Amino acid sequence: MKIEHIILGGGIAGMGKAVSLSLAGKSFVLLEKEERLGGLIQTLPTQSGNFELGPNSVFKSPELSQIIAHLGLEEETITSSPASKSRFIFHRGKVRPLKISPTGFMGNKILSPAEKWRAFREISVKTKSTENETLHQFFTRRFGQGFADKILDPGIRGIYAQDPEHILTQLAFPELLEMESKYGSIIKALKKQPPQKREILNFKGGMVQMTKAFQKKHEGSIRLETKVLSILSTESGFKIEFLEKGKRTEILAENVSVCLSATALKEIQTNFGLENIPRLPYTAMQVLILKIPKTKSSKLPMGFGFLCGKMANRPYLGLLQNSVIFPENFNQDSTLATVYGFLGKDRENIKLALEEDLNLRGMTEMIHHHEIPQALPSYNHSNQEVNAALDALEHKISGIKFYGNYRKGISVPKILKSVF
């Protein structure tokens, strides 16, 4: 029997694709190699609360709302607290408030007065982006070096875990180029946009609640512990070979949505050269879950958290205050936080550096430590090559599509937009 759609990989890309097919009245079968769905989405339940080892929260988007409604999770969502609106950057040895609103911007202590004026002059910058301009180059050209080094750099490292000097604007943020080309200025473009209230969401049971609800609703269409080995393009569709709980099996399908990482793709055997796509480097990260006492000496201001740029020279990328962002999901006797760092930095050193930065020497407790050897894909020239090769395959072989966080952006909303 030939099935209509087969989805390979059960991360957010695979699950999102499944929901979009389901909403269009189409059937699917989803194959996932692990014994659980979610991929990078992983929630750690502890006595202090539900911690996220992958995405901590997601911006509400039309596609996410459709998934939430489809899974009947409307009453289970939680939104970030008003207190978490305050954001910070670690700059010159201190956690300092970051004010990016038009009214608050001039009060920033992170940029010098000259750097602030230069940023405002973005409105009159006439130059246009050149091909292959990096994010750092784009922001330096439009907003000045100070803005690019002190605000963009920590912000981008905190999301992509990569240097903005190595991220191509056209790949990671094509919307910036559209704004520049349409309005001649990012500030002008932002002014033209209707005011956006971007809600930040999670679930009462953590992100895993979405995964579990998906699994429950589509149980009959999901095959776990099923590792895809090969995809063969045939005259009338595709033959997928896989190892299901140790047993080698195959399925015939009309359409294939490949929702695997770019690394996993290269391990799949095909008769159309998928294994020959260039290798895409990923960053390796670690996640530390910390309990931080609420003492008067603490220099951790209440808010979403803080980020460290290259200039700060810290062994970690930033800290999120989970118990401030989603207070209903955590005990409130201490601050519960997630700290992100590159894999390879000693975790005890990260903890010590953080304690020193926050004036909390010997006072924090590490509740958990998690390593992600393949966390986030590069958005550089290799990404460009990989995506060009996959676009060409999609064009050549009708019925196959490739999705995931290396295609159109790493965030959950961007991935969902691409699969819907």
Ligand X SMILES: Cc1cc2nc3c(=O)[nH]c(=O)nc-3n(C[C@H](O)[C@H](O)[C@H](O)COP(=O)(O)OP(=O)(O)OC[C@H]3O[C@@H](n4cnc5c(N)ncnc54)[C@H](O)[C@@H]3O)c2cc1C
What are the residues binding ligand X (CB under 6 A)? Answer: 8-14, 31-34, 39-41, 54-58, 227-228, 259-261, 264, 285, 287, 372, 375-376, 404-405, 410-412, 415
Terminal CA-to-CA distance of the chain, rounded, Å?
26
Residues 242/246/248/249 CA torsion (nearest 10 deg):
-70
Give the E-state strand segments of 11-86 in sequence order: 29-31, 43-46, 49-52, 58-59, 77-79
CA distances from 64 to 16, 39, 43, 81, 418 (A): 8, 17, 18, 20, 12
Report residue 247 as tokens. 């047993």
Residue recorded with tokens 């180059």: 137
Eight-state DSSP code of residue 312: G
Q: Where are the alpha helices (DSSP H) in 98-192?
A: 113-120, 135-143, 145-147, 153-160, 169-172, 174-183, 186-192
Report residue 272 as tokens. 């159309």
309: left (phi over 0), alpha (psi -120 to 50) or beta: beta
Is 98 within 8 Å of 89 (Cβ atoms)? yes
Residue recorded with tokens 């056209």: 170
DSSP letters for 272-305: S-GGGSPP--EEEEEEEEEEE---TT----SSSE
Q: Output phi, psi for 331, to 5 deg.
A: -65, 145
Residues of the chain by 3-state class (helix, strand, coil), percent to 5: 35, 30, 35
243 forms beta bridges with 227, 248
Distance CA 349, CA 155 (A): 23
Distance CA 310, CA 314 (A): 8
Distance CA 115, CA 20 (A): 46
| 65: nearest Cα among 215, 204, 220, 198 | 198
Report residue 307 as tokens. 């980020």
